[in-house]
Amino acid sequence: RDVARFIESMFGSHYSPTTVSNITATVLDDIHQWQKRPLSKRYSVIYLDGLYVKLKRGTVRGEVVYFAMGIDEE
């Protein structure tokens, strides 16, 4: 329900919680496959960074989202 409200507030489109659940279920399989893919043994460059964002979980507070990106030789 939170995701449906977020989509409506951001894009003005309304989706039912059932539709959001169906979309999420479809995408989750792809996400899990991507997360389990083999990584290269060697990377030329690795970027690590973090971004503080305000999250509302009962109260609003800042939390960090970490990013990691590797660039291989190909």
Along the 74 residues of the chain, how does pLDDT read in single tens digits?
Answer: 777 777 778 778 888 888 888 888 888 889 999 999 998 889 999 999 999 998 877 888 899 999 999 998 87
pTM here? 0.50
Dihedral-angle region of residue 16 (phi above 0 means left; psi in -120 to 50 means alpha; beta otherwise): beta
Give the orientation angle of helix 2-11 with respect to helix 17-35, to 10 degrees: 100
- Which tokens sit at 39? 């990584």
